[in-house]
Amino acid sequence: MLQAKNAEFHLNNKPTQILSGAIHYFRIVPEYWKDRLQKLKALGLNTVETYVPWNFHEPKKGKYEFTRLANLEKFIETAQELDLYVIVRPSPYICAEWEMGGLPAWLLAEKDITIRSSHPVFLKHVAEYYNELLPRLERFLQKNGGPIIAMQIENEYGAYGNDQVYLEFFKEQYAKHGMDTFLFTSDGPNFIEQGSLPDITTTLNFGSRVEESFATLEKYKPGSPKMVAEFWIGWFDHWSGKHHTRDPKEAAEVFEELIKQKISVNFYMFHGGTNFGFMNGANHYDKYYPTITSYDYDSLLSENGEITEKYKEVKNVLRKYTEVPEDVENVIETKNLGTVTLHESVSLFDTLHEVGTVTENLTPKSMEDVGQQYGYILYSTNVNKKGLLKLDTEPIRDRAYIYINGKYETTVYINDEEEEVLLDFPKDTNTLEILVENMGRANYGKHLIDKKGLTKNIWLGGQYWFNWVMHSIELNHLPKDYSLAKDGRYPKFFRGTFDAKEQHDTFVDTEGFSKGNIFINGFNLGRYWNAAGPQQRLYLPGPLLKEKNNVVTILELENTSTNEIRLEDKPKLG
């Protein structure tokens, strides 16, 4: 078993340098897990690390999911088949630029709860989830012949709070479920005091300034074994931002500082993958920064799993200090599959009976309060007042399209400098509709409690308005009948088919479209937002394709100048 002895890590009673890479199984189609893990091993690493996102495994309270992308056990088995060790970071909070940092949105419907604390309601939910999760991991512990050598307690907790009772709770839960393995915490150097426990190994997260960072650890915990639980070699991107890159040679040079001192390292990320569906998170500091669909992260492997120059530079460093396996080539091809025409279209407003569920209430409710997690929600009410009225947009999270009497009026966004708009109501009695998009809940910091939709009643024309109808649109079901097209308004669904004889990876280019979601055979690839960038194409893994009659569906929110998409052989970021 892994132990901390004399300022070193010992595995099976031998001094050990953990050389690990982060791979998130939930961001990669299962058919490619083995390929990514083989490339990790071929680099010369001996361990794979992964987070476990609570919201992915318990999307609805008491409804658990451990199949397909959520098949954690299969991922660990695949790592074991390749003789790799595994480090697991099992929630409840993971950050990871993932929706709400992995916390399930249904927690926000609780009236009395304090997340990431020892509040009894929160701990009860975590304990019930762990009753399902931890027994699935117990058989993979090293003591039982499995590959798991370590597990984390919470995640970067010092950057959030100082509830030591909460951190002790995880030790109790692990003991209760027989999780007899090496435990650790991880934080940035400036947060270790609040996020650590005295009898648990403290690890660090950083991308540079090696000596300074470990000097902080030594001051706090003298003689502690040294590990970078997250060695940041790239960074994530957000909409309306630039594509982040880090010079491969510079990243490899910092890595060499670590390896020559025999410091254990976990590359964050070895392979990033994709924020499929609605699972991208957001950062909220001075303003709101939603993360893009790609989680390429400028990692050692690209989003579609190709070996990068950074991978090669790191391997050159490793060759100086240890034996490394032979190089491997990328065997998964990408292909240009040509142009696809989307022959059919229908307005979202004509398909609400197929894609939405209805709730009525005196006041508008947030997504969470009507039992909705992701997607869109349409609010409507009658306004029996004529003339120009100011609408306070502050309660709208995150982006909304406003309609009066069936006519589009304007778009508002959480980042707008002005938090009010002037609307013209032409009749004595008018229908007001507000279609709100949840663009991803905050995954870090003080805005982690991040309700979506209308978070309170709106203030319009100097008064509140009552009696609302809400349509929750999570898009778990797509429209089937396109013959109902009567309403000409956007958002609109567009649909077409194409063949993919060899089922290669490809990238969907939606140039001419504006903003929305792409579905392939019902699978939500994620969001596009061409005007904002930096991402211009969405990765489409080959295993999602069929040889014949693949159905592509696009929900376009704003407008389009074309009814065609292109399937290209390369990504486009920046």
Active-site positions? 156, 230
C-alpha dist (Å) from residue 320 to 271, 324, 326? 23, 9, 14
CA distance 215 to 228: 13
CA distance 141 to 155: 20
* Residue type, position 532, single letter: A
**H helix count then E strand count, the chain:** 10, 34
Helix (H, G, I), strand (E, B) or coil at 82: coil
Task: Kindly state the tokens that stand for 146.
Answer: 């499995």
Q: For residue 529, give the nearest of 293, 300, 370 by alpha carbon.
A: 293
Question: Within a 10 A sphere around the Cβ of 230, how many other Cβ atoms?
Answer: 25
* Residue type, position 256, single letter: E
CA distance 494 to 214: 54
DSSP 8-state secondary structure symbol assigned to residue 444: S
The residues, any chain, with a CB within 8 Å of residue 242's CB and separated by 6 or more, are: 534, 574
CB 42 within 8 A of CB 326: yes
**Locate tokens 């969907």: which residue?**
508
- Annotate 456-470 with b (16+ C-beta within 10 A) or e (fewer): ebbbbbeeebeebeb
**Pairing state of beta strands 47-51 and 85-89?**
parallel
